[in-house]
Amino acid sequence: MIIQLILSLGLAGCLFYVMSLGRSSLAMKIALFVTVVIGFIFVWFPDTTSVIARQVGVGRGADLVMYLWIVLTLLFIVRLHLKLRELTEAMTQLARRIALNDTEAD
Amino acid sequence: MTLDLDKVCVIIPAYNEAKMIGKVVEEVRCLFPNVVVIDDCSTDQTMRNAKDAGAHVLQHPINLGQGAALQTGFDYAMAAGASHIVTFDADGQHHIEDVPRMLEALAESGADLALGSRFLGTTVGMTQGRRRLLQAATLFTKLTTGLSLSDCHNGLRVLTAKAVRTLNLRQNRMAHASEILGGIRRHRLNFIEVPVTISYTEYSRQKGQTFSDAFVICRDLIAVKLAS
């Protein structure tokens, strides 16, 4: 049962993070919240993973959890990439303003 | 044709082009007095050489890419009250003699922008590989924007102030060429293609795009779609 406590502690940390997101997009908050809840279910009722796995055509519950994890990670990378682009765009506008201002000072 | 040459602004994005930029600016200034070089934070003497040749130089404080440099040039030209903006490459592959013909054709047709086409015109020293890459890009453009162009990745363009105000480049790097065409389509801008000459030199070939850049361009185009 030690592993269940450790994993629950980690998930509780995630839950705190979700709550701390404040006013950011509601869809994102709900998606993260659902993910954490499913995480709790899988930690405390590990057999559910096997049941779901068999229903969707995956051999073992552990495999199912791993596949889900891979997909979530990839989605996260795409989201990070888009966030980075937003930052770059803001930086571009800043740099452009500096370039245009410098020439006025000439 | 009554066109005030003082209201034509030639913008040249440049990144580490110290070797060619002076000569290019001098040639452009033989025909057009207003030359703006956007130095994209070069590490060589690009800025000095462009200034010495008589260009007005804007410098990005960090390297942002060719698309970003063009947009900076657009902003500057609009603030300066330009009526026409010419986009010109810094590596010496374009010929400024083509531009008066483009301006004339633009005035006659009443279109919003004139795009240079090397396939309607002539090329000097183009490799087979480059020809195929450009033909693939033309097909890609036809499929994604529905625009029939003979040459969709030509950096030599003449834009009216209206076209410049309409387009707002968000693709900082190579995908800006496709972005301009997408903008033409979306805002229903009228364009014409004008034959121009492109000269490939050892120098311009080194600086040019490669096959793998096509993947980068596709990714950037998708990313902007997802982000917006």
Residue A106 distance to chain B (closest CA, Å): 10
Average pLDDT in the A69-97 region? Answer: 92
Integer Cα distance of B10 and B28 in angstroms: 8
Domain span holding position B98: 5-227
Whether residues B60 and A99 touch (CB distance < 8 A) is answered with yes
ipTM of the complex: 0.77
Nearest CB among B64, B172, B223 relative to A81 is that of B223
Name the more confident of B78 and B4. Answer: B78
Q: What value does the mean pLDDT of chain B take?
A: 89
Provide the whole-model pTM.
Answer: 0.81
Q: Which residues pair with B124 in a beta bridge?
A: B199
Integer Cα distance of B189 and B183 in angstroms: 8
List the structure tokens of B111: 């279109």
List the structure tokens of B97: 């003699």
Average pLDDT in the A63-69 region? Answer: 92
Percent of chain B predicted with pLDDT > 90: 60
CA nearest B88: which of B109, B78, B108, B73? B73
Interface of A with B (CB under 8 A): 78, 81-82, 85-86, 88-89, 91-92, 95-96, 98-100, 102-103
Which domain CATH number covers B210?
Answer: 3.90.550.10
Interface of B with A in 147-176 (CB under 8 A): 170, 172
Tell me how many domains chain B contains: 1
CA angle B45, B27, B57 (to 5 degrees): 40
User: How does residue A71 score in pLDDT terms, banded at 50, 70 and 90?
Assistant: very high
B59 contact residues in A (CB cutoff 8 A): 99, 102
pLDDT in tens, B124-150: 878 888 888 888 888 888 888 788 888
Integer Cα distance of B110 and B87 in angstroms: 19
List the structure tokens of B6: 């003082």
Integer Cα distance of B13 and B39 in angstroms: 6
